[in-house]
Amino acid sequence: MAMENPEKMLIPIVGKLEDMSPNELIYAVCRFILEVRKKSGENFPAETVQELVTSLQTHLEVQGRNISLLESPEYEKIGDTLDNRMKDL
């Protein structure tokens, strides 16, 4: 039996980050961390990926969502995903 294409199994990300539930936000940001690439398809340096996540954090704060994506226990999976991705880069 052939395995399904993993991309077909991905949950679509819809809506604005600032309007997402905690679980939706965790999923969206983790997936972003794992998938973000340069236009050429090359990986960004690890520091750039971390800066992109920090920019997402700033965006959420500007929109009135006062949460910490990298330090709050509720969002621990985001920090773990970022740590692992940075090790791979």
Taking the domains of the chain in order of start, what are their residue ranges? 20-34+44-88
CA torsion 59→80→49→12, rounded to 10°? -70
pTM over 0.75: yes
State the chain's mean pLDDT as an integer: 92
* Residue % of the chain over a pLDDT of 70: 91
**pLDDT tens per residue across span 7-34:** 567 889 999 999 999 999 999 999 999 9
Q: Give dist(CA 5, CA 47) in Å, integer.
A: 31
What tens digit of pLDDT does each residue of 48-57 get?
999 999 999 9
